[in-house]
Structure 1
Amino acid sequence: MKTMFDIRQLLKSYGAFIYTGDKLADLELMEDEIRELYRSGVLDASVFQSAMILLRHEISKLR
């Protein structure tokens, strides 16, 4: 994962379209979805880790 676009595309490929109009809420929902995909065994550890790092960075910028 290199960009937020990559994360959105990954989530879309699994049928998760996230847009609430609130950027922080979107990022938190994306984080939840990524966690659930990892727990379900769909994502491998490296994809999970890179996505979470990127999401946490973006969340920290908004807070």
Structure 2
Amino acid sequence: MKSLYDVQQLLKRFGIIVYLGKRLYDIEMMKIELERLYQNGLLGREDYLQAELILRREHRLERQKEDE
């Protein structure tokens, strides 16, 4: 897993499709859904941590774009 697209595909495997209309909001909602999957034992620790890092990076990049 290397990109936001990969995280989307991971969530899609569980029937979760996130689209709120703004990329920043999408990333935040994906993070919430990812946490729920992990807390309920549906997602392994390795996948969770990797996806979490990707979402953090994408969130940071998106915030930087907005600030410019």
The answer to whether TM tops 0.5 is: yes
The aligned length equals 63
Q: Match of 2:38? A: 38
Deviation at 1:5, TM superposition (A): 1.2
Q: 1:36-59: per-residue Cα shift (whole Å, max 9, x none)?
A: 000000111100000000000000
Return the TM-score normalized by structure 2. Answer: 0.88
Return the TM-score normalized by structure 1. Answer: 0.95
RMSD: 0.7
- Which has the higher Rg, Structure 1 or Structure 2? 2
Q: 1:4-45: per-residue Cα shift (whole Å, max 9, x none)?
A: 111111111101110111000000000000000000001111
Structure 1's consecutive aligned runs of 4 or more residues displaced over 2 angstroms after TM superposition are none
Q: Match of 1:55? A: 55
Q: Percent of aligned pairs with the same residue? A: 38
| Mapping for residues 13-24 of structure 1, pairs under 5 Å | 13-24=13-24
Q: Match of 1:11? A: 11
Structure 2 unmatched runs, 5+: 64-68
Structure 1 unmatched runs, 5+: none
